[in-house]
Amino acid sequence: MRMRKKKHCSERLEQCSQLWIKEPEQYKGKWSEIFGNDNPIHIEIGCGKGQFICGMAQNNPDINYIAIDVVPDVLVLALEKATRSELENVRLIIADAGKLCDYFEYDEIKQIYLNFSDPWKKSRQAKRRLTHKNFLDIYKKLLKNGNLICFKTDNKALFEFSLNSFAQENFKMQNITLDLHNSKFEGNVMTEYEERFSSQGFPIYRLEAKYIGWN
C-alpha cells in the first residue's frame, strides 16, 4: 500500500533534526561520533512508522540504532515517534538500501533488521527483494563473520525465497520459526504491521542469518 503524502513533511523533518541525519555519507566510519560512544550499531532497513526501532532502543540502551527508509513520508513518522520518546540511542536517515556501502564501513554495523519488507510478488521483481543476492552481497561488504541479519515477514513465499537466498550466499540460519508468536522466542518487539496482522491470526515467520564468510 502506497503511503499518503504527509502534510508539511519537510518542516516536520526539520523539527526533529537532532535525530535526523541529512547527509549520512559524511559519517561513514564515524557513526560512533554521532552517538558519542562506541556501543554496537544495529540498523533497520525499512523502518515503517518506527514502533520496532523505538521499542528496541528503549529495551537496549547500550545499543545504538539507525532506522532507514527511502520514503520521507514514512520516515517522518518514525522520526517524530523517536523524538517524542526522547531516545538518545536512535538516529534516522532517508536512504536506499542499495547504497548502504556509501554510508557504513566494514564491521561498523553489528546487526541488520529486515522487518516485513516488500515481497515484490511478481517473479520479475525478485531483484528488488531485500533478501535477494544483490542485497546480500551488499550486506556482506558491511558485516563481519558472525554478525546477524534478523528477518521477519508474514509472507510465506518471501520467507521461502529468503531461506534459499541466505543458504546460497553462505549465511548460516538459526532460530527459524514458522509461527513466531506461538514459539519460545523471547524479546520480540513488534512492528505496527506485525501487530495488526498477527491479531488477525496470520502467522509470523522469522529467522536469523549469521554471515560465515565469503564463498
pLDDT of residue 138: 97
User: Chain-wide mean pLDDT for the chain?
Assistant: 93
Q: Where are the beta strands (DSSP E) in the chain?
A: 41-45, 64-69, 90-94, 111-115, 148-153, 171-177, 205-211
Indicate the angle between helix axes 133-140 and 156-168, nearest 10 degrees.
Answer: 50
117-137: average pLDDT:
95
d(CA 143, CA 201): 35
**Overall size of the chain counted in residues:** 215
Q: What are residue 41's phi and psi, to 5 degrees?
A: -110, 130
d(CA 123, CA 169): 19
pLDDT tens digits along 93-119? 999 999 999 999 999 999 999 999 999
Judged against a pLDDT cut of 60, whether residue 215 lies above it is answered with no
Give domain limits for the chain: 42-211
The CATH number of 42-211 is which of 3.40.50.150, 3.40.50.300, 3.40.50.720, 1.10.238.10? 3.40.50.150
Residues recognised as catalytic: 118
Share of the chain above pLDDT 70, in %: 96
Judged against a pLDDT cut of 60, whether residue 175 lies above it is answered with yes
pLDDT tens digits along 25-50? 999 999 999 999 999 999 999 999 99
Q: Give me Rg for the CA atoms of the chain.
A: 17
